Amino acid sequence: GSFGYVDMHGARLRGNQKLICELTLRDGKIVYDLNGLARPDWNTLPKGYRATGDPRWDGSGRARDPRRTP
């Protein structure tokens, strides 16, 4: 396909590949991590590990209450 990439001054560069955001930082913290680039590999964690994320920004890192139904 045909795609355009805009620089910080508003100029466009034409391209033929679509770019996808993998990681977004805000104030030095990760706020979006599409493919878990900042996550530990599951096989490096101790047996019976629980949440690994920061609950202040990471919805997948929050411990779920098993008594609560969705």
**pLDDT on residue 50:** 84
How does pLDDT run across 9-64, given as a tens digit for each residue? Answer: 999 999 999 999 999 998 888 888 999 999 999 899 999 888 777 777 666 544 45
Give the phi and the psi of residue 3 in degrees, each rounded to 5. -135, 155
CA dihedral sign, ordered 46, 24, 28, 7: positive
- What is the value of pTM for the model shown? 0.55
At 53 the pLDDT is 74
